[in-house]
Chain A
């Protein structure tokens, strides 16, 4: 089974520039998550999709971050304009989803996209 694919792996930009990250989840996984992991901290959920609908985006800084999951498969996370504090690893994860059952919300993570904002 192919894993969760993310690109780019590394990105360096200057503040006020824009950046986009792409994620392709495991085939058939209904739920897709974007997490932000700042060095020394645990992953923080930015947005959770169920198919192509948003389940939770309460911690997404909507003035600068946006995400979409068209067609309920792959997803893009965009930051515009970037700030110094956005330097982090952006993790994409997917899970089978569904309303119940063991394994519905077991996450499979991608390798992450490391963003450095100068």
Chain B
């Protein structure tokens, strides 16, 4: 069965630290991958997406993610976090543009000012 796994449930960093949140998926073949973010009191919103082509994708607010097919991973990175990055981050995937999108369990990111 298709699944998306996020193993970091809660990450605490200081401002200016580098960030990497893990995401692994179980799909074979073609895959669409996403990172969504939910800031406190706000809706879930798209951070970035991968469909095909360049495995390094850039999103909003300085975030990027790298699709590594051999590792079934799509980790989210940011070189220097800010207090405003405090949020919950969800990795998601689907095997086609018409199929269901499955979410991971989420990672809560807390930034110490």
Which of B32, B51, B92, B97 has the largest number of chain A CB atoms within 10 A?
A: B97
Chain A neighbourhood of B24, CB < 8 A = none
Is A104 an interface position by the 8 A CB rule?
yes
Q: Which residues of B contact A109 (CB under 8 A)?
A: 36, 43-45
* B101 contacts partner chain A, Cβ-Cβ < 8 Å: yes
Contact B90 A43 (CB under 8 A): yes
Interface residue? A56 (CB, 8 A): yes
Q: Say yes or no: is B87 at the interface (Cβ < 8 Å to chain A).
A: no
Interfacial chain B residues near A93, Cβ < 8 Å = 44
Q: Which of B92, B100, B104 contacts A56 (CB 8 A)?
A: B100
Q: Are B90 and A99 in contact (CB under 8 A)?
A: no
Partner of B105, one of A3, A41, A102: A41
Nearest CB of A to B26, in Å: 15
Number of interface residues of B (CB under 8 A): 24
Residue of B nearest to A99 (CB): B98
Whole-angstrom distance between the alpha carbons of A40 and B107 in the complex?
A: 9
Chain A residues with Cβ below 8 Å from B90 are 42-43
Verify B105–A42 contact, CB threshold 8 A: yes
Instruction: Classify the interface of chain A: helix, strand, loop or mixed.
Output: loop
The 0/1 profile, CB within 8 Å of A marked 1, for residues 9-45 of chain B is 0000000000000000000000010101000000111
What would 19 more interface pairs be, CB under 8 Å, given A104-B98, A106-B34?
Answer: A3-B43, A42-B4, A42-B103, A42-B105, A42-B106, A43-B90, A45-B100, A45-B101, A48-B100, A55-B100, A91-B44, A97-B98, A99-B98, A102-B51, A104-B97, A105-B101, A106-B49, A107-B34, A109-B44
Q: CB within 8 Å of A: which residues of B?
A: 4, 6, 32, 34, 36, 43-46, 49, 51, 90, 92, 94, 97-106
Show the binding face of A for B, using Cβ within 8 Å.
3, 33, 35, 40-45, 48, 50, 55-56, 91, 93, 97-102, 104-107, 109-112
- Give the top 8 A-B pairs by smallest Cβ distance, nearest first: A42-B103, A104-B97, A109-B44, A42-B105, A105-B97, A43-B103, A56-B100, A109-B43
